[in-house]
């Protein structure tokens, strides 16, 4: 029987200053989620004239290539952690991310094409991955206490939601359209400042690396260990189903609100409501996770989101109040739906310390794959539905399939607990 690793000092007394120093990087990284995953397809469609099918194909190819980078960066992070600490690995990725965003947000007019969009998207994703994998892994090295890892994940995701709120407010406060180049210039500048500040804070985080210089894992050994790790393999499909359920409506949000609900001017309000609800509900979910455990609390959050989303089928054009209520109810599950799986991943990585970065790379690979599937499936279907002037395909992709996927994830998680 393996004993649980412990730190030399009390592992349950992480100070708020350390939680903030760790979680702060989640803010600028999350700011990118709005322009990259919500606004970018519409931006390229209206500003540069690319068809939705071309945009969907470009992003699908970029994200499929990006899927491969997560486990590779995880392996490299583990291999060189004895020489280069996780914090410095993270900071090293800042330049690549900013370079990719420069080309993605501000392409030369004569270079705008499917291939240009795909290339700059991939470079941006690679920079993001370079930062994200060691960043997530670091949570497992700051504390070995299970509840502390939940606190670290919760602070990261809570600050991530604040980052999303800032991204949503920028176009509103500047009175600019999300398709204006000036908005993306502002995004780039604010993200640059956020990365610098969070990088300085992150270098002050105290942690204890999970592995030593000699713990380098060969690829055949990695496959054998993953195969033997049943707990990890059982969690993979649950994580995949839930992530795909989240990615589909996220990809289609702008089109659903503007084309189906005819409420384009209210997009910012709906998103603000959704993310604020996530922040407000987070302390309650944390208390429940301490009382019920992580898996049952995650099940409850997924069930609330899927049941609330059924009301989408009652919506008609202009139904502002009902959709706002849906945003509130589904938003309640947002932060904890991100924090709990990450905390469970950190628990598993602690059992395999020599594979910590690799395991988070595999989680990232699943996330990227679901995002690739979502954009590759939904945008061509959206363009096809527009050509036929029918609404049912967008309802199916935006709400029907996500509900079924979340219910399947709940059932699988319940079976794993039995």
| Per-residue pLDDT tens digits for 359-409 | 777 777 787 788 778 878 887 887 787 777 777 888 889 999 999 999 999
Long-range contacts, 227-232 (Cβ 8 Å, 24+)? 229/348, 229/351, 229/352, 231/348, 231/351, 232/348, 232/359
Of 127, 92, 70, the residue nearest 372 (C-alpha):
70
Q: What is the pLDDT of residue 145?
A: 76
Contact 156, 279 (CB under 8 A): no
| Per-residue pLDDT tens digits for 235-249 | 888 989 998 999 899
Q: What is the pLDDT of residue 207?
A: 62
| Per-residue pLDDT tens digits for 10-24 | 445 678 888 888 889
Rg, Å, the chain Cα set = 21
- Torsion, CA 359, CA 364, CA 367, CA 372, rounded to 10: -130
Q: What is the pLDDT of residue 57?
A: 87
Q: What is the pLDDT of residue 70?
A: 78
Alpha helix stretches (DSSP H) within 215-229: 219-228
Residue stretches of the chain with pLDDT short of 50: 1-11, 211-215, 217-218
Q: What is the pLDDT of residue 7?
A: 39
Q: What is the pLDDT of residue 392?
A: 83
Q: What is the pLDDT of residue 215?
A: 46
Of 210, 211, 150, the residue nearest 344 (C-alpha):
150
Full-prediction pTM beyond 0.85? no
CB burial class (10 A; 0-12, 13-18, 19+) of residue 3?
Answer: exposed
Mean pLDDT, the chain, rounded, equals 82
């Amino acid at each position: 029987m393996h004993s649980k690793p412990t730190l030399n000092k009390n592992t349950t007394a992480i100070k708020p200053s350390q939680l903030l120093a760790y979680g702060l990087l989640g803010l600028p990284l999350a700011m990118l989620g709005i322009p990259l995953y919500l606004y970018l397809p519409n931006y390229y469609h209206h500003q540069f004239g690319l068809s939705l099918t071309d945009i969907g194909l470009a992003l699908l190819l970029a994200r499929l290539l990006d899927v491969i980078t997560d486990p590779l960066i995880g392996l490299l992070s583990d291999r060189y952690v004895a020489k280069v600490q996780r914090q410095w690995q993270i900071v090293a990725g800042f330049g690549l991310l900013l370079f990719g965003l420069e080309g993605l947000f501000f392409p030369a007019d004569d270079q705008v094409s499917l291939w240009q969009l795909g290339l700059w998207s991939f470079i941006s994703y690679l920079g993001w991955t370079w930062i994200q994998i060691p960043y997530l892994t670091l949570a497992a090295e700051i504390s070995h206490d299970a509840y502390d890892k939940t606190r670290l994940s919760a602070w990261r995701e809570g600050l991530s939601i604040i980052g999303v709120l800032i991204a949503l407010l920028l176009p509103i406060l500047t009175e600019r359209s999300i398709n204006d180049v000036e908005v993306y210039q502002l995004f780039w500048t604010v993200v640059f400042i956020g990365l610098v500040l969070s990088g300085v804070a992150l270098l002050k985080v105290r942690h204890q690396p999970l592995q030593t210089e000699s713990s380098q894992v060969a690829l055949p050994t990695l496959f054998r260990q993953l195969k033997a790790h049943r707990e990890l393999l059982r969690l993979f499909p649950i994580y995949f189903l839930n992530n795909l359920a989240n990615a589909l409506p996220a990809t289609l949000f702008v089109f659903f609100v503007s084309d189906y609900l005819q409420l384009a001017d209210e997009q910012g309000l709906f998103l603000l409501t959704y993310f604020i609800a996530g922040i407000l509900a987070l302390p309650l979910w944390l208390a429940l996770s301490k009382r019920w455990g992580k898996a049952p609390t995650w099940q409850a959050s997924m069930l609330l989101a899927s049941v609330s989303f059924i009301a989408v089928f009652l919506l008609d054009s202009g139904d502002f109040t009902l959709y706002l209520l849906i945003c509130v109810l589904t938003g309640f599950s947002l932060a904890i739906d991100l924090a709990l799986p990450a905390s469970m991943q950190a628990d598993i990585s602690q059992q395999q310390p020599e594979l910590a970065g690799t395991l988070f790379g595999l989680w990232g690979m699943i996330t990227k794959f679901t995002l690739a599937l979502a954009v590759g499936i939904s945008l061509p279907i959206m363009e096809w539905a527009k050509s036929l002037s029918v609404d049912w395909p967008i309802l199916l992709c935006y709400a029907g399939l996500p509900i079924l996927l979340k219910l399947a994830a709940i059932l699988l998680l319940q079976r794993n607990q039995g």
